[in-house]
Chains A and B, each alone.
Chain A
């Protein structure tokens, strides 16, 4: 376990390597496309327009509140799904390096985090535009987004580590995880609000992803901290993910190169 931890720490110290690799991944995602990273904006823009108009009407929402709420939720959710789908492939995609250069393999986990985080940061610009258009309230409470983001990123880092190890060994993990995320989308209030569920509210309350989204979204759209139970739930989720990640790393660390 200590050796595993040493490997992770050594990887973190090689930041100039994984930052470069991660940024390179972001750039290459759009290398041969004409509009390039603008696809991130277009994608979100169309989604927000379509969902906003249809569901906003359907759910009888006030557009001034609803559009920023929807946008923040979608940006966070896309960040989560891309960490899951890219995270599962973190080792598989770095196979060429892992098999011929003896860097600690966690370099490639951090590489993946840089990739999804930078992509997420780019799409966050969409929220800024929407927030400006709809005059979303900004205040001291908005700063609560920082601890929220820290917890969110720590959670995704652990999730990437878990999925990368498992998927290197069992190649069914990536599709399974993406199906799971698709299902989770319906039980996580992104399009609708938790309050609209009334008697079914407990489904959402038991969903840790809801709380994870909340601790980032609430400060953004309402300039106030999320409910304290959300911080508690997100903290527990982080502890569970970190624990599983540590276990999986300790068990699989030395086998990854053979599984690729």
Chain B
């Protein structure tokens, strides 16, 4: 029985950790009793996704879509709140990382499939099909460092798409593919989406969203501002956009959320 439950999840990034803290800065902070700068990327997120649901995630860049997916995937442990998931999860994002650059396409398929939870026997059975689906032909024999970005995408997508997970977490992956690939990928995603128990799909393609997802969540500054039937939520997003173009993005830059309590860019103890 697959399911995702998030309760009051807060997630923040410590800025100095992102800048690769040095001993000196850690010492200065310790002596100065200064707490590090924090950026709140998710704030009191609570949601419940049941078996059979296909959920869209929309919002501006930096609204927290990818971060939310990564929390669901168990990659980011939140500082506060509860995350409970049931079922085999397959994340599909940031596809241009996580390659063994010197290994061939075939080897990368194997490694990736293994990491995604396929058994070695299953990989043996399916690797042919994955290679065919990637449509990379002879390129599969050469190291992936010689691949173009679109080819990386094909390889990663073909592998992840073969996993057939119960919970599929997708982050707008099709941006870098060519037209033919986008077509295949879309078909495959359709298949996956009908087979997976749960799909969560972060995207900017508002027009295709209603075909995939009946429910959509709108994020803004790491908060859920709307959660409901896709058409209504998309409409709300578009209306807000029409009234004040880029308002959401403006807010993000200014570091304040209209109505919602603001996220302090820095906090001092």
Which residues of A does B touch, CB under 8 Å? 16-17, 20-21, 24, 28, 31-32, 95-103, 169-172, 254-255, 257-259
Q: Which residue of A is nearest B89, CB measured?
A: A102
Nearest 10 pairs of A and B residues by beta carbon: A96-B98, A96-B97, A102-B74, A254-B77, A28-B102, A102-B73, A102-B75, A100-B94, A101-B115, A31-B102
Say yes or no: B73 contacts A28, CB within 8 Å. Answer: no
Which residues of B does A touch, CB under 8 Å? 13-14, 17-18, 20-23, 26, 70, 73-77, 89, 91, 93-95, 97-100, 102-103, 107, 110-111, 114-116, 120
Contact of A17 among B76, B95, B115 (CB under 8 A): B115
Q: Which residue of A is nearest B14, CB measured?
A: A258
> In the complex where A31-B102, A171-B20, A257-B75 touch, is A100 in contact with B89 (Cβ < 8 A)?
no
16 pairs, CB–CB < 8 Å, chain A vs chain B:
A16-B120, A24-B100, A28-B103, A97-B115, A98-B75, A100-B98, A101-B75, A101-B115, A102-B74, A102-B75, A170-B20, A170-B26, A171-B20, A254-B77, A258-B18, A259-B17
Inter-chain contacts of A21 with B (CB < 8 A): 111
CB distance from B92 to the nearest CB of A (A): 8
> In the complex where A28-B103, A257-B76 touch, is A171 in contact with B22 (Cβ < 8 A)?
yes
Inter-chain contacts of A257 with B (CB < 8 A): 75-77
Inter-chain contacts of A258 with B (CB < 8 A): 13-14, 17-18, 76
A249 to B55, CA, bound (A): 35
Inter-chain contacts of A169 with B (CB < 8 A): 17, 20-21
Say yes or no: A97 contacts B120, CB within 8 Å. Answer: no
> In the complex where A17-B115, A21-B111 touch, is A100 in contact with B26 (Cβ < 8 A)?
no
CB distance from A179 to the nearest CB of B (A): 14
Say yes or no: A99 contacts B75, CB within 8 Å. Answer: yes
Q: How many contacts A-B (CB < 8 Å)?
A: 72
CB distance from B176 to the nearest CB of A (A): 16
A254 to B98, CA, bound (A): 20
Say yes or no: A101 contacts B91, CB within 8 Å. Answer: yes
Inter-chain contacts of A16 with B (CB < 8 A): 114, 120
A20 to B116, CA, bound (A): 14
Say yes or no: B100 contacts A172, CB within 8 Å. Answer: no
A132 to B139, CA, bound (A): 46
CB distance from A204 to the nearest CB of B (A): 30
A23 to B94, CA, bound (A): 25
Inter-chain contacts of A102 with B (CB < 8 A): 73-75, 89, 91
A97 to B108, CA, bound (A): 12
CB distance from A168 to the nearest CB of B (A): 9
Excluding A17-B115, A98-B75, A101-B115, 19 further A-B contacts by CB distance (< 8 Å) are A16-B114, A16-B120, A20-B114, A24-B100, A24-B107, A28-B102, A28-B103, A96-B97, A97-B115, A100-B94, A100-B97, A101-B75, A101-B116, A102-B89, A169-B20, A170-B23, A254-B77, A258-B13, A258-B17
Q: Which residue of A is nearest B76, CB measured?
A: A257
A97 to B116, CA, bound (A): 10
Contact of B94 among A24, A99, A172 (CB under 8 A): A99
Say yes or no: A32 contacts B89, CB within 8 Å. Answer: no
A80 to B75, CA, bound (A): 31
CB distance from B11 to the nearest CB of A (A): 9
Inter-chain contacts of B17 with A (CB < 8 A): 169, 255, 258-259
CB distance from B22 to the nearest CB of A (A): 6
